[in-house]
């Protein structure tokens, strides 16, 4: 469990006076990493039944593509119709999933914009917590699972690179194979947090008044990840839409409701002062 390493690093930073303020600032990210990791201790399929067939049928009914061989989900269509350029783009987009939000948060912190840094980092954590709750409320299998195993739940299934394996083959390095082998839970398709991460990053790029070129780049990466999630069979379109909705609702609740509560607002402002 990599959360042990996160905790040890956090303790070291907090114990050393010159880095204590940094440790406090990194708390939302440490909580994010640890929370994701500990989900493997009590998988969501132990709480609620896994949705495999119903989600697949809903996707086909809502977004099905009519072909000569019948109606296909967008994932099934792309599994039959893909190309090298699209495979490379998909890989590059998906590699931005977590690194770009982390890089943006570091930029805000090092720039000295601690207010927007903490707003973004805490909102990012809150989006994750809402999404993780969704995993447990409605465990759901991703498209690649149906393609490979059908509609029967196999509880200890390992993660799968699915269409991203084509990117690994093209560059000759098992990038995604190494990443998805460490997946905490494969039955976590709803909501798609892949769809949420760059959206919350783009939102806070706008809020913090970044350059238009930066906002445009983030928006392109965001939409690229939405497309990649479906193109590579990691998510249904339904998952992506719900991931977008999760992000928007969580950010609105955080900024417009939680931070309007005097006690929470005062605590948050005190937090900003302590890391400044």
- Ramachandran class of 172: left when φ > 0, alpha when ψ lies in -120 to 50, beta otherwise: left
Average pLDDT score over the chain: 96
Exposure on the CB side of residue 88, measured as CA atoms within 13 A: 6
Residue 185: per-residue pLDDT:
79
Convert the pLDDT of each residue in 116-170 to its tens digit.
999 999 999 999 999 999 999 999 999 999 999 999 999 988 889 999 999 999 9
Residue 115: per-residue pLDDT:
97
Residue 156: per-residue pLDDT:
85
Q: Select from 66, 204, 230, 236 the least CA-distant residue to 127.
A: 204
Confidence check: pLDDT of 214 > 70:
yes
Residue 172: per-residue pLDDT:
97
Confidence check: pLDDT of 181 > 70:
no
Convert the pLDDT of each residue in 6-39 to its tens digit.
999 999 999 998 999 999 999 999 999 999 999 9
Confidence check: pLDDT of 2 > 90:
no
Burial class (CB within 10 angstroms; exposed 0-12, middle 13-18, buried 19+) of 82? middle
Q: Where are the domains of the chain?
A: 1-41, 49-275
Residue 66 main-chain phi, psi, to 5 deg: -80, 125
Residue 59: per-residue pLDDT:
99
Confidence check: pLDDT of 94 > 70:
yes
What is the DSSP secondary structure assignment for residue 71, as one 8-state letter?
E
Alpha helices in 16-113 (DSSP H): 17-25, 27-38, 53-63, 74-80, 84-95, 99-111
Q: Select from 219, 192, 225 the least CA-distant residue to 96.
A: 225
The token pair that represents 222 in the structure block: 């965001």
Looking at per-residue pLDDT, the higher value among 40 and 73 belongs to: 73
Q: Are 196 and 131 in contact (CB under 8 A)?
A: yes
What span, in angstroms and rounded, lies between the C-alpha atoms of 74 and 224?
Answer: 16
Exposure on the CB side of residue 226, measured as CA atoms within 13 A: 18
Q: Select from 195, 202, 199 the least CA-distant residue to 142.
A: 195
Confidence check: pLDDT of 255 > 90:
yes
Work out the pLDDT band at 182, boundaries 50, 70, 90.
low
pTM: 0.95
Residue 184: per-residue pLDDT:
60
């Amino acid at each position: 469990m990599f959360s042990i390493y996160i905790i040890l690093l956090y303790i070291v930073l907090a114990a050393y006076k010159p880095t204590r303020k940094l440790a406090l600032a990194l708390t939302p990210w440490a909580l994010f990493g640890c929370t994701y990791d500990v989900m493997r201790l009590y998988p969501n399929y132990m709480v609620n039944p896994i949705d495999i067939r119903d989600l697949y049928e809903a996707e086909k009914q809502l977004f099905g593509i009519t072909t000569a061989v019948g109606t296909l989900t967008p994932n099934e269509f792309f599994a039959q119709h893909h190309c090298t350029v699209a495979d490379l783009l998909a890989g590059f987009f998906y590699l931005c999933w977590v690194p770009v939000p982390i890089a943006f948060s570091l930029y805000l912190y090092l720039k000295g914009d601690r207010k927007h840094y903490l707003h973004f980092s805490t909102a990012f954590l809150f989006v994750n917590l809402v999404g993780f709750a969704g995993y447990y409320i409605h465990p759901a299998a991703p498209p690649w699972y149906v393609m490979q195993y059908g509609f029967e739940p196999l509880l200890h299934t390992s993660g799968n690179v699915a269409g991203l394996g084509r990117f690994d083959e093209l560059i000759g390095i098992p990038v995604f194979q190494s990443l998805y082998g460490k997946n905490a839970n494969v039955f976590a398709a709803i909501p798609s947090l892949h769809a949420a991460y760059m959206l919350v990053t783009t939102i806070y790029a706008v809020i913090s008044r970044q350059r238009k070129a930066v906002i445009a780049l983030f928006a392109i990466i965001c939409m690229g990840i939405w497309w990649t999630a479906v193109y590579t069979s990691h998510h249904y379109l339904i998952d992506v839409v719900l991931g977008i909705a999760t992000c928007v609702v969580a950010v609105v609740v955080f900024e417009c409701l939680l931070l309007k509560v005097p006690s929470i607002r005062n605590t948050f402002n005190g937090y900003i002062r302590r890391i400044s």
